[in-house]
Structure 1
């Protein structure tokens, strides 16, 4: 089953959902601002993406700039920051069978379909 971590207020995230709908694939929507991933889940997502936690952070968010930018942070610190402030998590994230992509651009989703 495909899972998409989605923020309905984000146009790129909405485009990701639409792309999956048009593909005909069955998928589950996780509204991650309401159903925040645990630290363990977020570490799994980072692993599936094959990136560092910092690469999953939306660095233009004011929360990042005010609280975290310029500080020396471990991967665990960054994961913890994203759990406490889920707006920092890049979106949309699409997961299937232990693999994941960030749906920017939406064509990235094809890698999982």
Structure 2
């Protein structure tokens, strides 16, 4: 398992704790310091079964400043998310060919 993790995020920390409490083995990926490539994002979205816009943090100030009320296609969103990983919703847990956004964090238990 892999958790896309921001140590400053309370929801990420809750998901992390839930995985630990359930004795899950997982790798932490600080996606802010190690942003996913466009290809990695495509694979992630395939596992999440969603489109790039579905994982955009629309309340993030960067989104509000640069991207709100504008239209982008999927490829453009992939490029934006790869360049600005702060816009990626979190936490995301990947287990083999499945992934889930941990909002609320208890949802991560659905794929362990």
* TM-score, normalising length: structure 1: 0.95
Shift of 1:43: 1.1
Q: What do residues 9-34 of structure 1 show as CA deviations (whole Å, max 9, x unaligned)?
A: 00001111111000101000000001
For 1:74 and 1:16, how far apart are their aligned partners in 2? 31
The residue that corresponds to 2:10 in the other structure is 11
The answer for unaligned runs of 5 or more in structure 2 is none
For 1:62 and 1:29, how far apart are their aligned partners in 2? 25
- Most deviating of 63-72 and 29-38: 63-72
The answer for unaligned runs of 5 or more in structure 1 is none
Q: What do residues 44-101 of structure 1 show as CA deviations (whole Å, max 9, x unaligned)?
A: 1111111111010000111111111111200111111111111000000000111000
The residue that corresponds to 1:25 in the other structure is 24
* TM-score, normalising length: structure 2: 0.96
Number of matched residues?
112
Instruction: Calculate the aligned-residue CA RMSD, in Å.
Output: 0.8
